[in-house]
Amino acid sequence: MEKAYQVMPDIEVLPSHFPVPGAGFLPVNAYILKAKEPVLIDTGMGIDSEEFMKSLEAVIDPQDLRWVWITHDDADHIGSLQKILEAAPNARLAAFSLAVLRMSTAWPVPMDRVHWLNPGDSINVGDRKLTAVRPPLFDNPTTIAVIDDKSKAFFSADCFGAIIPWPAQSIDDVAEVDLAQSMVGWASLDSPWVHMVTPNEFNKGLDRIRQFAPKAIFSAHLPPAIGKSEQFLEVLATVPLSTPNIAPNQTALEQILAQEKGE
Ligand SMILES: [Fe+2]
Ligand SMILES: [Fe+2]
């Protein structure tokens, strides 16, 4: 887990990177939106939990949080959720209904603090409206990405992710060609259904994002990116017809383990 830093005047990122053996690093970001009613978007990986809480507390007193927005209930997004709900008694949990119900099979989610959102629904956080949208790519049916109508930022959940060669604070630290390739590779691996979708249908999903004209793409799995939306949408447009990304198999794992042992 790295130190939190500011990416827009009222937005901070809580960044981490998960090492993917033989491939690079998957950024894992949560975001703090310093709205009139402050919002935490996602809660990192469980393995980082202690550091995540410290990193969060360096930016905001958890008592001041009014919302915790979970983009979906995958482990890399809800790692510190229970701890945060305890440390932030004034915060409500904004999430898709099925995410809350699925989490309830693992721990008692306080239902009286929950706010259920479907794609298209909004919450008012004092100085702005946050709208839930289904991103063009997702790996979990409970995914609700966030459009902030004040900053014009798009918090895109797993969409626009990439495994990058080294931990980077800015996408400018990653070569553009490599980045496009990595984004396509991640999209294919994380949302394999995209290869069953016609480019025409898929483009409608991209156009829905285009309509918002996001000034920034704040993905959970990419360094924060400002002013790159159109470029990134064009990269994603190539995904349905790209060669499906095949995940490493047992032979690859044995090679990785042998390399790590220095054989
Ligand atoms: Fe996910
Ligand atoms: Fe994720």
Give the ligand at the shortest distance from the Cα of 191: 1
Give the ligand at the shortest distance from the Cα of 221: 2
If you measure from the C-alpha of residue 146 to the centroid of ligand 2, how many angstroms do you get, rounded to a whole number? 14
Nearest Cα residue to 8 out of 109, 154, 107, 139:
154
Residue 106's CB: how many other CB atoms inside 10 A? 10
Helices 176-190/229-237 angle, 10° precision: 50
What average pLDDT is seen over the chain?
A: 96
Give the ligand at the shortest distance from the Cα of 79: 2
If you measure from the C-alpha of residue 172 to the centroid of ligand 1, how many angstroms do you get, rounded to a whole number? 24
Pairing of strands 122-124, 114-116: unpaired
If you measure from the C-alpha of residue 190 to the centroid of ligand 1, how many angstroms do you get, rounded to a whole number? 8
Whether the predicted pLDDT of 263 surpasses 90: no
Whether the predicted pLDDT of 248 surpasses 80: yes
What Cα–Cα distance (Å) separates residue 142 from each residue in 19, 46, 135? 25, 19, 11
Nearest Cα residue to 45 out of 31, 28, 60:
28
If you measure from the C-alpha of residue 140 to the centroid of ligand 1, how many angstroms do you get, rounded to a whole number? 6
Which residues make Cβ contacts (< 8 Å) with residue 258, sequence separation at least 6?
none
Residue 171 has a pLDDT of: 86
In the three-class reduction of DSSP (H, G, I as helix; E, B as strand; rest coil), residue 59 is classed as helix
Give the ligand at the shortest distance from the Cα of 142: 1
Residue 192 has a pLDDT of: 97
If you measure from the C-alpha of residue 137 to the centroid of ligand 1, how many angstroms do you get, rounded to a whole number? 10
pTM above 0.95, yes or no: yes
Q: For 176-195, what is each residue's pLDDT tens digit?
A: 768 999 999 999 999 999 99
Proportion of the chain above pLDDT 70, given as a percent = 99
Is there a contact between 23 and 163 (Cβ–Cβ < 8 Å)?
A: yes
Q: For 109-154, what is each residue's pLDDT tens digit?
A: 999 999 999 999 999 999 999 999 999 999 999 999 999 999 999 9
If you measure from the C-alpha of residue 89 to the centroid of ligand 1, how many angstroms do you get, rounded to a whole number? 26
If you measure from the C-alpha of residue 219 to the centroid of ligand 2, how many angstroms do you get, rounded to a whole number? 9
Which residues make Cβ contacts (< 8 Å) with residue 114, sequence separation at least 6?
92, 93, 95, 100
Residue 21's CB: how many other CB atoms inside 10 A? 13
